[in-house]
Structure 1
């Protein structure tokens, strides 16, 4: 096989893994009520099936690069697909919510390595001039997943059974493993430095504690449990600081936070994504449980958001060049937050066209928001710090996704229990997570604007993140 054919095969292999991961984050949402009915639990209790997956990916993503260096890209990527497929089979065979959550953790272990190791394989195989184009090609698979996921999930539930939303990964994964074995070169590990296991454990404990604090066990001491878990998470995060100072090669260098836009972007991403991550979880539940939509109909209703998001990607760079990051993120964050609040107005009497318009506005603004936040957070990092910064950024993204689902679900339960009306619980939840998103606009006002055009002597990292972020939309 010549070099061009080898590169093409590699891109298709990585795109397959990216598609599986992206599909699995969206295909489950429209099937949650049906899965809950089958397992004999309340639909809102299904949030842990999503949180377990995202939280596992968040905690294990930093280790993916080290594993690839230590054991070789081909071995790790093959193992990632295999673990993901086995997790999918376990999900399809689950008979209780506990079993499903454990199976989703197994899926998350495999999913945590799919995209990072795939990107690393592409980075090592193609030239720097071809990397952005290659990443853009791969990202098409990531765009297709969210577009077809909700509709495909709804169709599986109605035409076959919910089990097929997980079984669909099996043939895709088998093809991917065969391609990895055949086309990826076998390279041994290159003696990677010792992995910062203690640092990874501290940050993982921090994320797990924060997630559990949001949805602590229901009891008379719920507030005390939440406070204790939050304090424990904060202590774990603070303990990482002296640990990183003592260690010569910490998981994440503290110097990363010396770049102002990285710190602002990281916090802004966390706050903004909490609101936007709650929407894909709450909207299908609202449509099916309160408005009487079928799973397929609710899946089709999510299409406008995905399609408008794909179309809006081409607007990002021109808008930022014209208005700058600070103005763009300020205005766009307000649009995202306002559109989330607007979901609270959807009722059985709402015209379908109006609901589609709101979903399309949210999808377009949210897609541009992700790309702009990704770019402004990473663009100021040096090439030396880009790897660590990107890994930490990925952890925060996954944490925010889990927190968004947990907070959204917890708010629905609280307001529904207090008012005795489930639809009121959904409405107030949308208002609250929308307001949380609006708070991010204040955070993004602290961005220090820098030119987007690379001049002589400037590092290329100042522009590459925008192009990569625009293509991935994640």
Structure 2
């Protein structure tokens, strides 16, 4: 049972606002870095494609540590863990700014991911446990604002800083935000924790973390010989073996660190498998677009950011329409048709040339962002359609891990496709014509998500979508007419 340490005059809106600030910092940071990637690569003396390690390191770190964030909060207190996560994220930001080489930069991004993995999930847990249920909807609404605004502001902000200042300043902007969050959390967060909690599956955590890290390192290091070939293949093989051992291990425990048995639910399975395949294309966009606009077309970071923000703007624009579309058509038809359309819009990005109108690019990115937003609304909603209340927490952890891994795969696979296209033309340096095959490759992977969504029952998730759902009427019993 949760312990509440009450303090007088605790404003109900302060807690979600502090968590929203942390989420804004995390989301803005990721999109700012994507825009600055080519400039950072030049500064570090690296090929721009090599910086894929910096993006994947952050995402893999999130995937590794998110599953234990809830346990950490229950063991050490939510306020303690949240404040520690802010400090770790700020330390990672300073380490990124101080990096003088690729290895140090990748390690700093991994450290940032550790902070991010604890920061937002624990903050959300504080809201769920401290805000009255009557105010929960409005409190959670605060979290959607930074999630939408951060990716819109990030690309132009990253372009502005990178064009007119040193790229290292993009990491310094996290410090005042993090300090403000630390102070406010100290004042307004209760140190909530559970008196009873299952033991930490330490063996499972080590197997899962080491397996994910090795597998993704092996995949991300292939192509440009960032590691010796034998070491990349050893990472791939070792990571796959460790994950197989975790699967075997998890079946023997009542409380594994990641509950794979939840995949028995058809709706959850479709959301995780289909959603992961679809997100691979989404994960490729922040990597491929700035490279194409800056390296391929010669734009500066500011103009690149003023174009790429359109995708996030489209996602924000259509956010309120998703529920109405679901009530009209239901999950299965929307997810199948929309997966094809969104994948087609992703592939279209590979048809641009340096002479293509920037307004046309902005328009296509905006519409593509709308389509992807509708798809993610569907995936996030149907994932929990058939889970009971006791499975919600474990389902959130598994879905979050799958999401981060699929985004990381999007970066790695798009980089491999880009390198393959350059090698096909007999070059080692990437050029504008290499981006068409890369966008097409990740779009085809995203389109295969249709196979998972088509397996859904026609009325899958009807209670959640509201399409044709009629609440059960209690039958008459003794004393009831």
Q: Structure 2 CA distance, aligned partners of 1:191 and 1:85?
A: 32
Q: Structure 2 CA distance, aligned partners of 1:303 and 1:290?
A: 18
Q: Structure 2 CA distance, aligned partners of 1:6 and 1:379?
A: 33
Match of 2:433 among 421, 424, 433: 424
Instruction: Measure how far apart 1:188 and its partner are.
Output: 5.9
Instruction: Measure how far apart 1:290 and its partner are.
Output: 1.1
Q: Is the 8 A contact 1:412 1:422 kept in 2?
A: no
Q: Structure 2 CA distance, aligned partners of 1:3 and 1:259?
A: 44
Match of 2:449 among 433, 436, 440: 440
Q: Structure 1 CA distance, aligned partners of 2:302 and 2:192?
A: 45
TM-score (normalizing by structure 2): 0.90
Q: Give the 3 Å change call, closer, same or farther, for CA 427–269 of structure 1 in structure 2.
A: same
Which whole-Å deviations, capped at 9, do the CAs of 1:273-310 have from their partners, x for residues lacking one? 11111011110110001111110000000122111110
Instruction: Please give the residue correspondences for 1:50-65 in structure 2 after superposition, counting only pairs within 5 Å.
Output: 50-65=55-70
Greater shift, 324-333 or 374-383, is seen at 374-383
Question: What is the aligned-residue RMSD (CA, Å)?
Answer: 2.2
Runs of 5+ consecutive residues of structure 1 not aligned to the other structure: 459-474
Q: Give the 3 Å change call, closer, same or farther, for CA 286–3 of structure 1 in structure 2.
A: farther
Instruction: Measure how far apart 1:100 and its partner are.
Output: 0.8
Q: Is the 8 A contact 1:62 1:392 kept in 2?
A: yes
Whether 1:97 aligns to 2:102 is: yes
The structure carrying a bigger helix percent of its residues is 1
Q: Is the 8 A contact 2:53 2:220 kept in 1?
A: no
User: Could you tell me which residue of structure 2 aligns to residue 200 of structure 1?
Assistant: 205
Q: Structure 2 CA distance, aligned partners of 1:3 and 1:439?
A: 54
Which whole-Å deviations, capped at 9, do the CAs of 1:344-383 have from their partners, x for residues lacking one? 1000121222211211111111111112111112221110
Q: Is the 8 A contact 1:287 1:298 kept in 2?
A: yes
Q: Structure 2 CA distance, aligned partners of 1:59 and 1:254?
A: 15
Q: Give the 3 Å change call, closer, same or farther, for CA 150–18 of structure 1 in structure 2.
A: same
Whether 1:209 aligns to 2:199 is: no
Whether 1:239 aligns to 2:255 is: no
Instruction: Please give the residue correspondences for 1:333-348 in structure 2 after superposition, counting only pairs within 5 Å.
Output: 333-348=339-354
Instruction: Measure how far apart 1:183 and its partner are.
Output: 1.3
Q: How many residues align?
A: 458
Q: Is the 8 A contact 2:96 2:171 kept in 1?
A: yes
Runs of 5+ consecutive residues of structure 2 not aligned to the other structure: 1-5, 474-481
Whichever of the two has the greater Rg, that structure is: 2
User: Could you tell me which residue of structure 1 aligns to residue 478 of structure 2?
Assistant: none
Instruction: Please give the residue correspondences for 1:2-81 in structure 2 after superposition, counting only pairs within 5 Å.
Output: 5-81=10-86
User: Could you tell me which residue of structure 2 aligns to residue 268 of structure 1?
Assistant: 274
User: Could you tell me which residue of structure 2 aligns to residue 411 of structure 1?
Assistant: 417
Q: Structure 1 CA distance, aligned partners of 2:13 and 2:397?
A: 26
User: Could you tell me which residue of structure 1 aligns to residue 311 of structure 2?
Assistant: 305
Instruction: Please give the residue correspondences for 1:29-428 in structure 2 after superposition, counting only pairs within 5 Å.
Output: 29-187=34-192, 190-217=195-222, 218=224, 229-419=235-425, 420=427, 422-428=431-437
User: Could you tell me which residue of structure 2 aligns to residue 464 of structure 1?
Assistant: none
Which whole-Å deviations, capped at 9, do the CAs of 1:243-271 have from their partners, x for residues lacking one? 12322321233431221111121111111
Which whole-Å deviations, capped at 9, do the CAs of 1:4-35 have from their partners, x for residues lacking one? 85321111111111111111121101111111
Q: Give the 3 Å change call, closer, same or farther, for CA 222–275 of structure 1 in structure 2.
A: farther
Q: For residue 302 of structure 1, give the secondary structure of its aligned residue in structure 2.
A: helix
